[in-house]
Amino acid sequence: MRRAVITIGTFDGVHSGHRHIIEQLQETAAACDGETVIITFDPHPREVLHPDGAPVKLLTTLDEKIELLARQGIDHVVIVPFTRAFSELSARAYLEDFLIEKFKPHTIIIGYDHRFGHNREGGLELLEAEQNRYGFQLVEIPQQVVHDLAVSSTKIRNSLQDGNIELANELLGYPYFMEGKVVHGDKMGRQLGYPTANIELPDHRKLIPAQGIYAIKVHLEKQSLNGVMSIGTRPTFNGVDLRLEAHIFDFSQEIYDKVLRVEMISYIRANLKFDNIQDLIIQMDKDSLAAKSVLAS
């Protein structure tokens, strides 16, 4: 790569807050006729360093993150396998054997609080001390930008878990989406007049929004379709397993084993347990009308 301008981070969600750093990366690269490089890690470092901690919930799977960064025009996205051995590199080995040897950076753009190396012993101070020796420029991302980034990520996760899809989408800068393969269910929706596509996500770490009914947009191959989605355990049927079930309006194709991307547009209501099937169908009719109204506007 030519005159690499690099930054390092998880970039989960590639949301509006990340755009500031991406724009700075691109402006710096343009000024030196260089190429933009984002270094990120998989799995999430927390999974390796704190395996017994709370499960990591991702806004974007690895493939989704790569796609979103490519959409932003990043030249190189480097996925580093985060292992226990990698985490135990000394700060100097991380700098010399990883950053310098692998990337020969022209510029490193890094958060004021970014730490690296075993026990987080390295940071801006080491980079500042060594930049002349290795001939790279150093750009610090200020505290306020890093703080705003963390606040945005937390707000997005909380909004999704609260069912506040509109706020999450505003902060992301695009509709939150889930993508997965259509698998066989028990065909209950078909019997109710609402056939559904049961979606199986490829990564259990993907954050699933609050249980409830949602207006959605569905992308299937080159088709863009409207629909309504249930996230839940189907309380009327005393279900226990969480399901993602999408009903696509005016659609009758067999799509088992195909990949659907579902964009979450609006939360309609919480899940309810109905006394009988007829009441459930009446409510599903209302949900469809509500979703169509939201999607039309």
In the CATH scheme, what is the code of domain 4-161? 3.40.50.620
Interval 96-136: pLDDT, tens: 999 999 999 999 999 999 999 999 999 999 999 999 999 99
d(CA 202, CA 183): 12
How big is the CA angle at 192 (ends 187 and 198), to the nearest 5 degrees? 35
Task: State the pLDDT confidence band at 266, using cuts at 50, 70 and 90.
Answer: very high
Distance CA 88, CA 82 (A): 10
Residue 198 has what pLDDT? 95
Evaluate the omega torsion of the peptide bond into residue 105 and state whether it is cis, within 30 degrees of 0.
Answer: no
Per-residue pLDDT at 192: 74
Query: How sure is the predictor about 214, in pLDDT bands with cuts at 50, 70 and 90?
Result: very high
Lowest-confidence range among 111-125, 147-161, 232-246, 249-263?
Answer: 232-246
What CATH number matches the domain at 176-296, 3.40.50.360, 1.10.3720.10, 3.40.190.120, 2.40.30.30? 2.40.30.30
Average pLDDT of 190-204? Answer: 88
- Give the pLDDT band of residue 194 (cuts 50, 70, 90): confident
Domain ranges across the chain:
4-161, 176-296
pLDDT at 283: 94
Q: What average pLDDT does range 202-209 have in this prediction? A: 96
The pLDDT assigned to 89 comes to 96
Tokens of 71: 């959409």
pLDDT at 186: 76
Stated pTM of the model: 0.94
User: Quick one: average pLDDT of 27-46?
Assistant: 96
Of the listed ranges 17-21, 89-93, 161-165, the least confidently predicted one is 17-21
pLDDT tens, position by position, 48-81: 999 999 888 999 999 999 999 999 999 999 999 9
